[in-house]
Structure 1
Amino acid sequence: MEHVTKVLSRLSSVLTKYIGMIIICFSVIAFFWRDGFAWTTNYTSIFLGVAMFGMGLTIHIGDFKVVFTRPKEIIIGFIAQYTIMPLIAWGLSVLLHLPTDIALGVILVGCCPGGTASNVITYIAGGDVALSVGMTITSTLAAPVMTPLLVYLLAGAWVQVSFPGMVISVVKVVLIPVLLGILLRRLIGRHIEKLSGILPLISVVSIVMIISGIVAVNAEKIMTSGFLVLCIVILHNLAGMGLGLLAGRIFHVEYDKSTALAIEVGMQNSGLAITLATANFAANPFATLPGAIFSVWHNISGSLFASLRRSGRYKIKEQIAKAEHVI
């Protein structure tokens, strides 16, 4: 049993590190082998719930201390999360005169909390992982109110938005699973700790299944509107990361913390956007497309951004070391 656990832990570590490439590979397979993945769309909310439950299992009660010990960065991150990406999404939709379905999908992505993949990307970038986790927890727990409210305010010009319906959806697929995961870890933490290396695997598999299914079902839409949506997604994501980084500099946030902030703002829980589009906007089938493409792209851009920030971090350390040597 111990040997199996070690093997699964190593597998989980590898899959988590290369989640971007894995998502791309499975998306390509799903695009050409649609029947093999289309069935997963019937369980999108379940897969997302499982991913959120897996996230909850990884959260220590001590992680909440970050919220109180680093209030400045948490507050900056929270405000940036729920202003920058939603407003960019709305701005792109208005300026580019996007079709209703696409505009709705882009706004849904923009109004979602930070994604769990942001914690992994922050780790790769050499950023402040504890802060990243703290921001993800904060934005996720606030999502049942903030996400429906923002979608209601920003997307109301395109479609009729049911605020209560969206609140119920977010509570069911995000809040309850996360809280159950936290509670279970609190009750049987020692047993969960033994499986800590495997837990990310739960979220990775769930996210890959969600995205693959959406790609399979939307293959025709991707062929007709995929390039337009990809361009919008790239603009949205890069602008989010850039402005998140700028916010860190304006408020004089340290390098590793500003790295975490930029990644957290730019990388959304696009699985939630897909789930909300499926559950609440069935009359707008193209609304799932931005979430699906964002899921693939933000892992690519996040990995590239992480490489740049990590190399920059080492350069700063070298400069500090040289300065100390001279002194």
Structure 2
Amino acid sequence: MSTPPPPTTTDPRPPAASTARTSEDRSARIAVTVFPALILAAAAFGFFVPSVGQSLAQYTSIYLGVIMFAMGLTLTLPDFALVVKRPLPILIGVIAQYVIMPLVGLGIAVLLQLPTELAVGVILVGSAPGGTSSNVIAYLAKADTALSVTMTSISTLLAPLFTPMLTLLLAGSYLPVNAGDMALSIVKMVLIPVIGGLVIRLIAGKLVDKILPALPWVSVAGISLVVIAVVSGSTEAIVTAGGIVLLAVVLHNGLGYLLGYWAARLLRQGERAARTTSIEVGMQNSGLAATLAASAFSPTAALPAAIFSIWHNLSGAVLAMYYRRSGDKHQIDPTT
């Protein structure tokens, strides 16, 4: 759900595109508000009706591909212009994404002495790119939404390289990791659909503008199906280790927010950029992590990602309210 800020009087896009963006923004805000409830319902369905969920499991890579294609459709070339105009905050955000979260994931796995499959799952969540719902949270928090969109896009495009490499480096001592197969899976499930969506947006922009409001719901539906599939194959693990996994997820997500914020501030970034980095680092593409974990390891290894999917949207909404209400205190200039 990659959502740029609502158009203003200085918006360079044509009026039709601006109107479509406004509709998409409204739809995204509604979607991200009800998303946690829908994910909770999906998790409950997968837990209590596992036979149905397991029949869906073989299609998880397709669900993720659809989500990533929808993300690609929301992107435009100007979304990448910030790479040239403001390279430093983007570089800080992407490096923080692929340094802080993987290392924190490893630290939590060691600290909590997680069982092997769960430890790998937590590390894999940390090694995933930024979550697409972070863009909506950034908007709601009055952070820099354009910066958030660019950070998410760049970290997603880099995922075929960094996610398998970091998983191999940090989780290889727990379970064998086939980094080559994982990279190929990410290319198929993420890179190709995102680029495909971007190309179609370039070719048929007016047509895509008409369906933009529906795209956040495509992401919601796709992740819900992934959660149903993952939970249905992890019912025993949920009963025996659900509490410790939830603790790991809460720590992982919270430390991502905190360390992402201070990494930006210590490198002399402004308040809005720091808040954006905080959100980007703390919110992961848990749908990708869950799909990779289930296919490369086991449904149990995918459990941390499934729980992360629920938790980071709840915590993100709370963080957005906090940032939004404290905006006046920091006297944030929305143009910087």
Q: Could you state the TM-score of these two structures normalised by the residue count of structure 1?
A: 0.90
| Counterpart in the other structure of 1:324 | none
8 A Cα contact 2:29 2:136, kept in partner: no
What amino acid is aligned across from residue 194 of structure 2 in structure 1? V
Residue 199 of structure 1: aligned partner: 215
User: What fraction of aligned residue pairs are identical, expressed as a percent?
Assistant: 46
Give the one of 200, 215, 222 matched to 1:184: 200
How big is the shift at 1:18? Answer: 2.6
What is the match of residue 148 of structure 1?
164
Q: Shift of the alpha carbon at 1:17?
A: 3.2
SS at match of 1:37: helix
Q: 1:26 to 1:286 in 2, by over 3 A?
A: closer
1:313 is displaced (CA, Å) by 0.7
Q: 1:268 and 2:284 equivalent?
A: yes
Q: How many residues align?
A: 311
1:311 to 295, 301, 325: 325
Contact preservation (8 Å) 1:13, 1:197: no
- Corresponding residue for residue 88 of structure 1: 104
Q: CA deviation at 1:280?
A: 1.5
Q: Amino acid of the residue matched to residue 290 of structure 1?
A: P
Structure 1 residues not aligned, in runs of 5+:
321-327
Cα deviation for residue 67 of structure 1 reads 1.3
Deviating more after overlay: 234-243 vs 87-96: 87-96
Structure 1, residues 63-95: CA drift from partner, whole Å, max 9, x if none?
A: 010111111100000110000000011112223
Distance 1:127 1:12 in 2: 16
The alignment's TM-score, normalised by the length of structure 2, stands at 0.88
The match for 1:298 is 312
Deviation at 1:27, TM superposition (A): 2.0
Alignment check: 8 A CA contact 1:274 1:291 kept: yes
Deviation string 1:32-61 (CA, Å, 9 cap, x unpaired) is: 333443332221110000000000000011
- What displacement does 1:13 show? 4.7
Structure 2 unaligned segments of length 5 or more: list them: 1-19
How far apart are the structure 2 equivalents of 1:96 and 1:189?
49
What displacement does 1:309 show?
0.7
Task: From the superposition, tell whether residues 286 and 122 of structure 1 become closer, same or farther in structure 2 (CA, over 3 Å).
Answer: same
| 84-93 or 51-60, which deviates more | 84-93
Report Cα offsets for 1:300-327 as digits up to 9, x if no partner.
1111111111111133349x9xxxxxxx
| Distance change >3 Å, CA 238–CA 12, structure 1 → 2 | closer
- Give yes or no for the alignment of 1:238 onto 2:238: no
Q: Secondary structure at the match of 1:196?
A: helix
Q: What is the DSSP-based 3-state SS (H/G/I as helix, E as strand, rest coil) of the residue aligned with 1:180?
A: helix
Corresponding residue of 1:287: 301
Q: What is the 5 A alignment of 1:65-80?
A: 65-80=81-96
Amino acid at match of 1:22: L
- 1:47, 1:210 within 8 Å by CA — same for their partners in 2? yes
- Name the aligned partner's letter for residue 300 of structure 2: F
